[in-house]
Amino acid sequence: MKPLLFTNARLIDPKSKLDQLGRLLVKQGKIAAIYLSETEKAPDDVEIIDCHGAVLCPGLVDMRVSVGEPGFEYRETIATAAEAAATGGITTMAILPNSRPAIDNPALVSLMRSKGEETGSIAILPYGALTVGCDGKEMAEIGLLHEAGAIAFTDGIKALADTRLMMQVLAYTHGFNGLVVQHPEDPSLAGRGSATRGELATILGLPSIPAAAEAIMIARDLRLAELTGCRLHFGHVSTGEGLELIRKAKQRGLPISCDTAPTYFDLNETAIGDFRTYAKLSPPLRCEEDRLAVCEALADGTIDAIASDHMPRDVDDKRLPFAEAAAGGTGLLTLLSVTLIRVKEGTLPLIDALALLTSRPAQLLGQKSGNLDIGSEADLCLFHPDQTWRVEAGNLPGRAQNTPFDNRVLPGVVLGTWKKGRQVYKRVAS
């Protein structure tokens, strides 16, 4: 493969705090050199890619993704998810284990990794199940899953409700410095609720979930993390109360981290409108006060990563009365763009926003990706932060079309994506 030389690029590498116009050289699938001065001579026998001032950054690392495979291929396959991911600038994604069968044995961990390699465009990092079948009753073979390459342990979209079992899982995982990821929602309070408890849910006549269900689970698990010393991560945190508990736990030095999803800092509960099922999510959309609290936590560093929370659903899952429709929205294609809204509104510097999408999730998951280090794999995303595009459900790449951002005009057009130096997506000029 001929060496690539990216020229006229705004190189942004959050890990090294680099944000400067320059050139980047790729040889044999790895980053070989970065030239920040025109006087530095680059090799002559290269393929030149003129970036015309667009941002060249590490490929995005999405730490919270569900796919339909295995078991729900009618919703989406790894191949279709990889297509959507490449279009969105994502080169690494961590896959939740709540498939059918669940990723609760070492063979499935190895299978998911190999299926990612087969696409040639995405690295798949499988989570291992906390409990057998993600059913919350019996601890899975966490040690064997770890040896097989599971990057962390979670029951995905289900909270582990059994307090004693959760303490045992944390204590065991701490033995090899593993990471446990929790869906922070007390299931006994959530029940079959479909919207956040409050005036809107009452007016619409929807079964509701108190926002406190999140904070109650976070408070319990923070105490268990303190007892066991285990590293604990909370996924898609969506309330101010929950974030304040995490903020204080970090100040006390607990090994705690958390992520959120673009839906929780861009949308509030009014997005469900007239029973709009594409905006039915888990956890449900919150009030405006909570949305602003999430924005504040992004700015002050309480939140460690932004994940897509990609949850593919097919038409039959969503074409139901709101209370009966399945929760979940797609997010691979909109992850970068919705995050850039925070940059456009001046609440988050671009390099900090990209850190939440690249180096910080990679660090949490113990990965070497998400940076522009010399010698690292050339996983790259080229995008124009000021160009815009329209989200059109039904015309998105990949099989899943259930986006809560349907018909929105968003900033940030991905121009190209490279995996190990090979271009896996190129935007076609319209």
β-partners of residue 179 are 231
Stated as kind and residue range, the H or E segment containing 298 is: helix 288-300
Residue 294 one-letter amino acid:
V
Q: Where does the pLDDT of residue 429 fall: very low under 50, low under 70, confident under 90, or very high at 90 and above?
A: confident
Give the residue numbers annotated as catalytic, written as ranges.
309
Kindly report, residue by residue over 98-120, the tens digit of the pLDDT.
Answer: 999 999 999 999 999 999 999 99
Say which range, 40-49, 182-191, 216-225, 265-274, has the weakest mean pLDDT.
Answer: 40-49
Residue 37 one-letter amino acid:
S
- Residues 6+ away with beta carbon under 8 Å from 113: 124, 125, 126, 149
User: In terms of residue numbers, what domain contains 147?
Assistant: 59-364
Measure the CA–CA gap between 74 and 304, rounded to whole angstroms. 33
The CA radius of gyration of the chain, in Å to the nearest whole number, is 21
Residue 38 has a pLDDT of 84
In the block, which residue shows the tokens 């990612």? 116
**Four-residue CA torsion sign, 12, 16, 21, 23:** negative
DSSP3 helix / strand / coil % (the chain, rounded to 5) = 30, 25, 45
In a domain, 118, yes or no: yes
Measure the CA–CA gap between 158 and 166, rounded to whole angstroms. 13
How many domains does one find in the chain? 1
Kindly report, residue by residue over 324-337, the tens digit of the pLDDT.
Answer: 999 999 999 999 99
In a domain, 119, yes or no: yes
In a domain, 179, yes or no: yes
In a domain, 269, yes or no: yes
Strand 409-419 with 422-426, pairing = antiparallel
Cα of first residue to Cα of last residue in the chain, in angstroms, is: 29
Kindly report, residue by residue over 227-271, the tens digit of the pLDDT.
Answer: 999 999 999 999 999 999 999 999 999 999 999 999 999 999 999
Question: Span 40-55, mean pLDDT?
Answer: 93
Q: Coil, helix or strand for 116?
A: helix
In this predicted structure, the answer to whether residue 430 has a pLDDT above a threshold of 70 is no
We report the CATH number of the domain holding residue 242 as 3.20.20.140
In a domain, 95, yes or no: yes
Classify residue 278 by its DSSP letter.
G
Q: Where does the pLDDT of residue 42 fall: very low under 50, low under 70, confident under 90, or very high at 90 and above?
A: confident
